[in-house]
Amino acid sequence: MAKQISELNWKKRLLVISYKNEDEKIFNESKKFILDNKCQIEDRNLEILFFKNFKNKYFSTPDFIENKYGVWLIGYDGNIKDYTENDKIYLGLFDLIDSMPMRKNEMINNKC
């Protein structure tokens, strides 16, 4: 049975990526971003979930996707902090996370 992403509330920040095909720019740019930023992603306690055609084999599709493609940043509290229909979210993603109140305490132990 698929889990709800809300099970990760207060445990992980989430990056939810909804895409149609593996040859799409948003999918490829997301994969590149992950490969290029492994340490920063881990340091920010960021879990990345891909939904191809609104499906993920481990998690139920969240309501906010509502047949939309794009990238959502979800905070510890389960609220949407940012959304974009393209890969532009990656330009300021770490700055946005670093400006969050809970992140301020985490930054004392930066690993990267």
Q: Are 71 and 48 in contact (CB under 8 A)?
A: no
Domain span including residue 94: 5-109
Number of domains in the chain: 1
The pLDDT tens digits for 42-55 are 999 999 999 999 99
The pLDDT tens digits for 51-109 are 999 999 999 999 999 899 999 999 999 999 999 999 899 999 999 999 988 898 888 87
For the domain that residue 27 is a member of, what is the CATH number? Answer: 3.40.30.10
The pLDDT tens digits for 5-19 are 999 999 999 999 999
9-36: buried (b, 16+ CB within 10 Å) or exposed (e) per residue? eeebbbbbbbbeeeeeebbebbeebbee
For residues 44 and 107, what is the distance between their CA atoms, to the nearest angstrom?
A: 9
- The whole-number pLDDT of residue 37 equals 97
Does position 2 have pLDDT exceeding 90, yes or no? no
Does position 111 have pLDDT exceeding 80, yes or no? no
- 56 contact partners, CB below 8 Å, separation of at least 6: 2, 49, 50
Site of tokens 């794009």: 70
Pull the structure tokens for residue 109: 């132990």
Mean pLDDT score, 11-40 = 95
